[in-house]
Amino acid sequence: MVGSVASSWNESVHRAWLHYVKKERERAELMELIRDARDAGVLPPKADVSTQNQAKSSVARGVKAKVAEDFPRMEECVVGLFPKKAQNVLVKCKDHVQLFAVNGEVLFFQLRDGPWIPTLRTVHRFPTMMPLVRVDRGAIKFVLKGANIMTPGLTSPGGALPEHLEKDQIVAVLAEGKEHICAIGKTLMSADEM
């Protein structure tokens, strides 16, 4: 009787030890992914990061659902962006900014409680996920320096607006004569008002 109790206790300790080792290995892999992403310049420096944790599956599902809702054109690509066995990391930064990274690559960011906005790298992978606006050649250097885009840059020859553009919609900005998207923005007026 004593021998069977001792062996079951040893098995319990062994299972607990294996579970602990597995969790430590997962944590080490996660930290390595974060280090690699930071070294590659994908994540902000440590000084700007408040916390970074592996996202709960419910949080990842919520982000996925919100992205599919906000960007209906991207619905078929959501599966490729959020694989089932991925390392999902939620990074909270200063000034109420959150980053959502999948397997070490930051895909979306959020300002306060606003919508999840794709990073420029994500938009380069899926350029049709959001409406495109085109600025004329004269606005390119200012846009690349971070300036706001004024209506004349979109309505002049060389600029282009989709017809059904609403206020507060996230758009990708393309420059006249260039093939890659150069910025992501939010409209402050509808296309009719412009």
All CATH 3.10.400.20 domain ranges in the chain, comma separated: 2-119
Contact 136, 159 (CB under 8 A): yes
- How large is the average pLDDT for residues 134-144? 81
Whether the pLDDT of residue 108 is over 50: the answer is yes
Domain with residues 131-186, CATH architecture: Roll (2.30)
Least confidently predicted of 36-40, 41-45, 73-77, 85-89? 41-45
Is 2-119 assigned to CATH 3.40.605.10? no
pLDDT, tens only, 1-32: 444 555 566 676 667 667 666 777 777 776 77
Q: Which residue has the higher pLDDT, 46 or 158?
A: 158
- List Cα–Cα distances, 102 to 29, 124, 151, 153, 162, in angstroms: 13, 16, 36, 35, 31
pTM, rounded to two decimals: 0.66
